[in-house]
């Protein structure tokens, strides 16, 4: 049996994650049956579950992939940039975010497992704002933790609006206002 290269395995894994993201966004976790996962990925259940132990592991991998990308953007460009990127985010990402929120609300075991990922995003935002504060760019009259909480709440609201197919009129101006709320006057 020929060996498959690491690049080929990673490409296949990425293909599965992309298809699974679409399936979870469209049908939610419960509705994304193995058959639907096969249809969205174009692969057999054997190929899918060769890479992921079960549907739960696949969902967590999709959500983790999204969380890592978001944390990376936050670390480099800040939470407001993540919000700006939501304008063009695909329905798969938004659907996955809503499914994560739903499962956090209804599944205590999932909530415990997901807590570390949530903390990673807050940590990236906190570290970025602290660096910005040291550079004199972020206001000092409120704790960084309060500013992070504010930005996360705004982002959650924007995710909800985008997931409902709505976006505030003049979103750039709204996000400029959000950004100015934490900037040094």
In a domain, 163, yes or no: yes
What DSSP string describes 151-167?
A: HHHHHHHHHHHHHTT--
Tokens of 166: 């709505």
Cα–Cα distance measured from residue 51 to residue 82, given in angstroms and rounded to the nearest whole number: 29
In a domain, 143, yes or no: yes
Residue linked to tokens 């579950």: 49
For 119, the domain range is 6-182
Average pLDDT per consecutive 10 residues, the chain (185 residues; last block may be shorter): 78 93 87 94 93 92 87 88 79 77 88 84 92 95 95 87 75 91 89
Which pLDDT belongs to residue 168?
67
Which pLDDT belongs to residue 142?
95
Which pLDDT belongs to residue 17?
95
Cα–Cα distance measured from residue 22 to residue 18, given in angstroms and rounded to the nearest whole number: 7
Domain with residue 45: its CATH number is: 1.10.357.10
In a domain, 40, yes or no: yes
For the chain, the domain total comes to 1
In a domain, 1, yes or no: no
Cα–Cα distance measured from residue 142 to residue 127, given in angstroms and rounded to the nearest whole number: 15
Close Cβ partners of 37 (under 8 Å, ≥ 6 residues apart): 19, 20, 23, 45, 48, 55, 58
Is the pTM for the entire model greater than 0.85?
Answer: no
Tokens of 107: 């599944």
In a domain, 161, yes or no: yes
């Amino acid at each position: 049996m020929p060996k498959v290269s690491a690049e080929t395995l990673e490409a296949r894994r990425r293909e599965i994650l992309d298809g699974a993201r679409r399936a979870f966004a469209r049908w939610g976790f419960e509705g994304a049956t193995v058959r639907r996962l096969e249809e969205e990925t174009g692969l057999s259940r054997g190929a899918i579950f060769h890479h992921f132990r079960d549907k739960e592991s696949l969902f967590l991998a999709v959500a983790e992939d999204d969380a890592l990308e978001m944390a990376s953007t936050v670390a480099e460009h800040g939470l407001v940039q993540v919000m700006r990127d939501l304008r063009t985010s695909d329905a798969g990402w938004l659907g996955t975010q809503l499914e994560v929120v739903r499962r956090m609300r209804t599944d205590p075991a999932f909530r415990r497992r997901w807590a570390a990922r949530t903390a990673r995003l807050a940590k990236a935002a906190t570290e970025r704002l602290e660096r910005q504060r040291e550079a004199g760019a972020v206001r000092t009259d409120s704790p960084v933790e309060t500013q992070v909480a504010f930005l996360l709440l705004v982002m959650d609201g924007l995710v909800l609006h985008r997931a409902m197919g709505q976006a505030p009129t003049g979103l750039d101006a709204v996000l400029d206002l959000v950004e100015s709320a934490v900037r040094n006057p």
